[in-house]
Amino acid sequence: MINNNTYNYLLSDLKKLKGIGIKTSNLLKKKKINTIFDLLWKLPKSYTDRSISTKIKDLKIGETQTVTLIPYKYNFPRIRNLPNRVNCKDDTGLLDCVFFNSYEGYVKKILPLDKEITVSGKINHFRNKYQITNPKYVSQDASLVKDKHNKYSLTEGISEKVYNNIINQILKNLPKLEEWHNPNILKKFNNISWNEAIIKLHLPKNVGNYKSDFYQRLAYDEILSSFLVHTEIRRKIKKIKKQKKIFDLKDQNKLLSRLDFKLTNDQKKTLDEINIDLKSDHKMFRLLQGDVGSGKTIVSLAAAYNIIKSGYQVAVMAPTEILARQHFSLAKKIFDKNINIGLLSSKSEYKEKKIIIKKLKGNNIDIIFGTHAIFQKKIEFKKLGLIIIDEQHKFGVNQRKKLSDKGGESCDVLLMSATPIPRTLTMTIYGDMDLSIIREKPKSRLGVKTYSKLESKIDDIVKFIKKEIKKGNQIFWVCPLIDVSKKLDHSSVLKKYEYLKNIFPNQVELLHGKTDIDKKELVLNNFLKKKFQILVSTTIIEVGIDFPNANVIVIENANKFGLSQLHQLRGRVGRGNKQSTCILMFKSSLTDNAKKRFNILKNSTDGFEISEEDMKIRGYGDILGFKQSGIKIFKLADPVHNNELFELAENEIKQMENKNEDISRYKTLMKLYDQADIINDIN
């Protein structure tokens, strides 16, 4: 049995702590510090050593120093805005303690006359005398001052002293938790307990000691907790018994034979994995991860075709309406004529929507395409057998869990991601799902040639663009900003649009984040229909539909982007059968890191390889879209520096799964690391 009191204290509201009222609590909550446990991970960035006491005659101006002295006279002026001053001395000289905005009573209380007091603060000089203004530490008990005091990235409105007092109070009352790790794991961290590790983490001498046993143990706790939650979700989903989908692969093979290309080996392997899941009596909960242009869509549609042939309905959700329409058009082109295909669009007439909703409920639509609207409460399916999410927007673990429950027990779930991410991140983010990966690109694709070019050589780029337009090709021109910025020396789409419009009249259009949704759809549709040749855009086009005639992408200020984002942007071209080009523009001399990124991009088109390199260069949490998506960023663990801990946790999880081990011993660990809503019903 697990004693709830072991973690109840740590998960308590901040107001339970002495010295934290409503005001301080609200200040901390603005920084997403909601519980006592959250405060443990706000680590000191450095410390101030106040342990050495200095005589007044030896004080150094501008330094923070500690001095033991005797107050002998108060000077409390009656004129407003003048500070209160306390004259102090030791056997070597004189010093004033100066207080702004402090009441007389408070000053008298902390600095009583003729008592020996230890004071610490920054030393300055005024009228030939040393002084300390608003000393941070003052006490008759020298041991409370003469110590090493941690310095934190402070929340505005909370002083260093208050912050240290709060942290010390927590550490003093830290409960001793029952150990959850087995002896073999503990040995790897020199048998240090969670309690000891937390205390050592906050000792001033240990600031930045990332290789220590205590730091490594706590980082491992985080990783293992995340993996355990994913394991538990996977286990629960596998327990769900469903009706097997029964279909003949001859139908699938006929469908594939009608295509004007052959599937790659990776596509075949992935489709086999999905089909095995669909035919099993366990619910499928699978992520199909593939590089840009690797052919995920055709695999998902082949799986959808099999589901329809087995008598079930399919729902396909895309991140944008134009992409939903493209999937819809492809399905109409390759599916049998007797398959009923629907599109639920925001542009659909009310009457038309009503008909579609009625048809779905009556099982008169076999497959429906749309955006998130197809999962609204009012939309009911007669016999939903598969949900496919083209997952350009990232779902968190809780959202995925709800999605899995949406279609009922017999509904399988396939998520697709076009963002290749490093293996350690895949384990962390998608560990609750089975994984299929498509790395191989279709042989008909010629790839994208990548060049870097100084901005001053723009005339050469314009000449090149003119030649490409004569060949019937289209161009993306990407700028980082919408408008000119006074703070950033980056190119803006508005300025570039005006520039290119003068050179290429009636051939240029504009797109950015503030473009109205309807206008955006119109612009993209017109680009697809070749009504203009150059689309000047911000990075909003990094995820989107196929433009087979777009063969060139120019990316301005390319040195300001991460590798993964540059790769995603480059993936907008090279979708047809012609040779494509990516031009990385930069303003002036490149940093070593920028040169490194450009060279990696020039030499590789493998998104997975590129994402690994990107993480090494930029660090975890800064890879494409992760900060914006709300995906959990670990407090201590780092997939770059703690790769061996991720592998250790992965091996431990595999052993648990192979032995079908009861994970209730880890309930405290998972509860503390804020996954309670998922693991509440663990015995």
What domains sit in the chain, N to C, each tagged with a CATH number?
51-146 (2.40.50.140), 249-438 (3.40.50.300), 448-604 (3.40.50.300)
**Under a CB-based contact definition with an 8 Å cutoff, are residues 210 and 641 in contact?**
yes
CB 666 within 8 A of CB 179: no
Helix H, strand E, coil C: the string for 527-596 is HHCCCCCEEEECHHHHCCCCCCCEEEEEECCHHHCCHHHHHHHHCCCCCCCCCEEEEEEECCCCCHHHHH
d(CA 363, CA 353) in angstroms, rounded, equals 15
Residue 99 has which token pair? 């207080």
What are the tokens at 645? Answer: 């801990």
CA atoms within 13 A on the CB side of 50: 28
Name the percent of the chain in helix, strand, coil, to the closest 5: 40, 20, 40
Sign of the dihedral defined by the CA atoms of residues 20, 22, 26, 29, in that order: positive
Please report the DSSP string for 608-647 in residue order: HHHHHHHHHHH-TT-STTHHHHT----SS--TTTTHHHHH
Alpha-carbon distance 540 to 569, whole Å? 9
pLDDT at 280: 92
Count the Cβ atoms, other than its own, within 10 Å of residue 347: 10
Q: Beta strand pairing status for 46-49 and 64-75? A: unpaired
User: Which residues contact residue 497 at a Cβ distance below 8 angstroms, ignoring those fewer than 6 apart?
Assistant: 508, 510, 536
Q: Which residues contact 99 (CB under 8 A, 6 or more apart)?
A: 83, 84, 85, 86, 107, 133, 134
Distance from C-alpha of 289 to C-alpha of 265, rounded to nearest angstrom: 15
Q: Is 662 left (phi over 0), alpha (psi -120 to 50) or beta?
A: beta
Q: Burial code of 315-339, b = ≥16 C-beta within 10 A, e = fewer? A: bbbbbbbbbbbbbbeebeebbeeeb
* Burial track 651-676 (b if 16+ CB lie within 10 A, e otherwise): ebbeebeeeeeebeebbbbbbbbbbe
Cβ–Cβ < 8 Å for 569, 583: no
Q: Consecutive sets of 10 residues in the chain, 683 residues long: mean pLDDT of each?
A: 64 84 84 85 82 91 92 90 92 94 89 94 90 90 81 72 84 88 93 93 86 93 88 80 90 90 92 95 89 86 95 88 86 92 80 86 91 79 89 57 67 84 73 83 78 90 93 90 54 85 91 79 86 89 74 90 83 80 87 85 83 70 42 72 88 87 84 60 45
CB within 8 Å of 669: residues ≥ 6 apart = 180, 221, 224, 225, 228
Give the pLDDT score at 433: 80
Report d(CA 313, CA 410) in Å as an integer.
11
Q: What are phi and psi of 342, to 5 degrees?
A: -120, 155
Beta bridge partners of 13: 35
As a whole number of angstroms, the distance between CA 93 and CA 111 comes to 18
Query: pTM above the 0.85 mark?
Result: no
Residues 255, 334: contact at Cβ < 8 Å? Answer: yes
Q: What are phi and psi of 133, to 5 degrees?
A: -95, 130
Pairing of strands 448-454, 580-586: parallel
486: CB partners within 8 A, 6+ apart: none
**pLDDT at residue 265, rounded to an integer:** 93
